[in-house]
Amino acid sequence: MKLEDIRKIYFVGIGGIGMSALARYFNKNGVEVFGYDKTKTTLTKTLASEGMKIHYDDDISQIPEGIDLVVYTPAIPKTHGELNYFWNNDFPVKKRSEVLGIISRSKKAIGVAGTHGKTSTSSILTWLLKVGGVDCTAFLGGIAQNFESNFIEGKSDWVVIEADEYDRSFLQLNPDMAIVLSMDADHLDVYGDEATMHQGFYDYVDRVKDGGYVFVKDGLRMPFSKVNVTYGQFGIERGSYRAENVRVENGFFVFDFKSSKENIDNIKFTLPGKHNVENATAAIAVAQQLGVTGDDVKKALASFKGIKRRFERIYSNDSIVYTDDYAHHPSELNAAIGAAKMLFPNKRLTGIFQPHLYSRTNDFVDGFAAALDELDEVILMDIYPARELPMPGVTSKIVFDKMKNPNKTLVTKATLMDTLKDKKVESLMTLGAGDIDTFIQPIKEWLERL
């Protein structure tokens, strides 16, 4: 199927962050966009205000005639009525990743892969390119605050795409450039074991177009098999593209960047944490290949506003700071908690964590417990199931019981606010990828009243 053949498109699960970016792409390109989602959210209301027609009941009578393509997300249950209607009536039905693959083959694509850091790095890279004069298109897994959107329209041939390892989606892409940020074990419900998951990343890198570039975090074991692709490593104090002398100055992270292309000193970066410096280093490596200068790199990173739910500062006054982060894997928790400790070293750190998925909680119970032990106080919520049915014996209590931190409390969504109001907070974080974000506004309003 060619993009120009699509005049009327339907999204099953249009409110997902990745799906909505794709919907915005087609809407901006003059395609009629229709869709279903189970929940009305701020994002779906914004999509509707942009001209898309969305409903919230699984009801085939609301499907319009003349649909050229149906796009769905693996998060939709296989029993979904509308999805089965499309399958049973021979509509062209594709996963979101397949449609991104079509786009990647028709453009010059930059695929950003990794079990952590995809959204941050893709957003940083998009801003770097825009400031540096490369008018790229981008599909992001979060709302980049410089654009207030997860879809960024551009006029050049370059497109930035998050290469998602879940469900092996990234194997639909054929990028001209690829970044691999991390390959920590995750999504073992899909891959079965860590070695098989790593093979998925190797296969992804092999899909880079001839004459392309691959940038891999220094230290990751990655067999490079294509002779007509240029490979580079990035990292902190290591790699051919590296950040050096990372320090905190006046509340900002500052670093120097070294590469054979150009050295850039005293880069002031708005995002906290060494993990974000590493993400920025990967983005600079790509931007340099496309001609972005050191001056534009410094201008872009100093003016980058961040991404919603990625170490997002929600509220602060002279005595309290409240930050929200999407962290849902032990490595991400370690990064977010570590960044908060570096940025606010003299404040007692309280974290509210909502585990995401029964399978992930079961797979990484020890890692979650160890990461949460680094907090001064922990408030642990029930597991957010997302697409999963309950697993026997798997609840938040298995993490709670493994923790050595004596300052820990187990709560439900119903008891969270009352429990929190009994705490004296200095540095507060909400952490998780489920619906913990529905508590951001109530928590902010409570802090404002203190």
Within a domain: 100:
no
- The pLDDT of 334-342, averaged and rounded, is 92
Q: Is 348 exposed, middle or buried (0-12, 13-18, 19+ CB in 10 A)?
A: middle
The CATH number linked to 375 is 3.90.190.20
Banded model confidence at residue 187, pLDDT cuts 50, 70, 90: low
Query: 3-state DSSP call for residue 140?
Result: strand
Q: Using the 3D structure, point to which of 95, 115, 134 is the last residue of a domain.
A: 95
**257, 189: one domain:** yes
Asked if the structure places residue 269 within a domain, the reply is yes
Which pLDDT score, from 0 to 100, does residue 305 have?
A: 93
First CA to last CA across the chain, in angstroms?
A: 57
Q: Do 71 and 112 fall within a single domain?
A: no
Shared-domain flag, residues 118 and 23: no
Tokens of 362: 């079961």
Half-sphere exposure of 22 (CA within 13 A, CB side): 32
Bridge partners of 257, per DSSP, are: 243, 264
Instruction: Answer for the pair 110, 176: CB distance below 8 angstroms, yes or no.
Output: yes
Say if 307 falls within a structural domain. Answer: no
Supply the pLDDT for residue 390. Answer: 95
The whole-number pLDDT of residue 105 equals 86
The answer to whether residues 294 and 190 belong to one domain is yes
Q: Are residues 390 and 339 in the same domain?
A: yes
DSSP letter for 294, please: H
pLDDT tens figures, 418-442: 999 999 999 999 999 999 999 999 9
Which pLDDT score, from 0 to 100, does residue 4 have?
84
Q: Strand, helix or coil at 40?
A: coil
- Of 201 and 3, which is predicted with more confidence? 201
Alpha-carbon distance of 359 to 187, in angstroms, equals 8
Q: Which residue intervals of 92-193 are DSSP H helices?
A: 96-106, 118-131, 188-191
The residue among 95, 124, 141 that closes a domain is 95
- SS3 at position 397: helix
> What's the pLDDT band for 251 if we cut at 50, 70, 90?
confident
pLDDT band at 252 (very low <50, low <70, confident <90, very high): confident
- 363 shares its domain with 432: yes
Residue 78: pLDDT band with limits 50, 70, 90: confident
The answer to whether position 129 is within a domain reads: yes
Mean pLDDT of 71-91: 92
Q: Are 377 and 423 in contact (CB under 8 A)?
A: yes
Q: Is the residue at 10 inside a domain?
A: yes
Q: What pLDDT is attached to residue 310? A: 87
Q: Taking each helix axis from N to C terminus, what angle separates 42-49 and 17-28, rounded to the nearest 10 degrees?
A: 10
Instruction: Give the per-residue pLDDT at 3.
Output: 82
Q: How many Å apart are CA 134 and CA 158, to the nearest integer?
A: 8
**Domain co-membership, 278 together with 333:** no
Of the candidates 402, 420, 413, the one whose C-alpha atom is nearest the C-alpha of residue 437 is 413
For residues 298 and 320, membership in a common domain is answered with no
151 and 248 assigned to the same domain: yes
The per-residue pLDDT of the chain, averaged, comes to 94
The answer for residues whose C-beta is within 8 angstroms of residue 5's C-beta and 6 or more apart is: 68
Q: Give me the percent of the chain exceeding a pLDDT of 70.
A: 99
- What value does the mean pLDDT take over residues 84-89? 96
* Residues 400-416 pLDDT 10s: 999 999 999 999 999 99
| Token output for 166 | 């879940």
Residue 294: both structure tokens together: 């050191």
What is the average pLDDT across 95-112?
91
**Host domain of residue 346:** 312-449
φ/ψ region of 168 (left if φ > 0, alpha if ψ in -120 to 50, else beta) reads left
Q: How many domains does the chain have?
A: 3
Domain boundary among the residues 37, 68, 95 is at 95
CB atoms within 10 A of CB 384: 19
